[in-house]
Amino acid sequence: MRFRHYKKILLGQTPRCSTLNAQCSTLNAQRSTLNAQRSMLYALMIKIIRERINIEEILRSINDPSAGGIDLFIGTTRDHSIGREVLSLEYEAYEPMALKVMNEIVEEAKLRWEVKKVAVVHRVGEVPVGEASVVVAVSSAHRSEAFDACRYVIDSLKKKVPIWKKERFTDGETWVGAQEL
């Protein structure tokens, strides 16, 4: 008789085990819901796109009524580099890895600073002079956290994300600063 009872306990077939299993299932469901809500709280916009970056859309995506500060970095194509006239930039990316690393950078920023929302959008393909090639936006309750997190995200992106830049000049072109992976 005892053997059957212990066997039922080991197999999770007693009323107590059934109750615990149900409670575990409920807790796991609640944990999944909380994780989904947490992701929504941060409302991440992490994208690599081929068209002109919509800065207004990015600002709307990070707007939060509890944010007291928003920091916005816009990296644009300038008309010169190393004393040469620049016509345009061209970006290429290993997109699956780039998106993965961008997400990791944002997650690290969320751990270091109390940010509300973060957006990172990088353009690939040709980017003419004066247009944005990368935008990082961070909202936070306080400006110093927004500034620090935004700087961390753009600096880390430049160092770690597999996106490569070619400068096109009036007299040629060259690839610039390939990141070490």
Q: Domain with 114 in it: what CATH number?
A: 3.90.1170.40
Q: What pLDDT, on the 0 to 100 scale, is given for residue 12?
A: 58
Same domain, 30 and 118: no
Full residue range of the structural domain in which residue 31 is found: 2-39
Q: What pLDDT, on the 0 to 100 scale, is given for residue 44?
A: 79
Q: Which of 34, 61, 36 is nearest to 121 (CA)?
A: 61
Q: Which residue has the tokens 């956290």?
A: 145
Q: Which of 44, 52, 61 is nearest to 105 (CA)?
A: 44
Q: Please indicate whether residue 7 or residue 51 has the higher confidence score (pLDDT).
A: 51
Same domain, 35 and 48: no
Q: What pLDDT, on the 0 to 100 scale, is given for residue 56?
A: 97
CA quadruple 94, 89, 158, 153: dihedral positive or negative? negative
Q: Please indicate whether residue 6 or residue 122 has the higher confidence score (pLDDT).
A: 122
Same domain, 12 and 53: no
Same domain, 34 and 120: no
Question: What residue type is 79 in one-letter code?
Answer: D
In the chain, what percentage of residues exceed pLDDT 90?
72
User: 114: left (phi > 0), else alpha (psi -120 to 50), else beta?
Assistant: beta
Specify the pTM: 0.75
Q: What pLDDT, on the 0 to 100 scale, is given for residue 39?
A: 44
Confidence of residue 11 (pLDDT cuts 50, 70, 90): low
Query: CB neighbours (10 Å) of residue 149?
Result: 24
Model confidence over 97-156: pLDDT tens digits?
999 999 999 999 999 999 999 999 999 999 999 999 999 999 999 999 999 999 999 999
Query: Is 181 contained in some domain?
Result: no
Query: CB neighbours (10 Å) of residue 117?
Result: 21
CB contact at 8 A, 98 and 35 = no
80-81/69-76 β-pairing: unpaired
Model confidence over 49-58: pLDDT tens digits?
999 999 999 9
Same domain, 27 and 63: no
Task: Decide: residue 53, CB within 10 A, 0-12 exposed, 13-18 middle, 19+ buried.
Answer: buried
Question: How much is the average pLDDT of 166-171?
Answer: 95
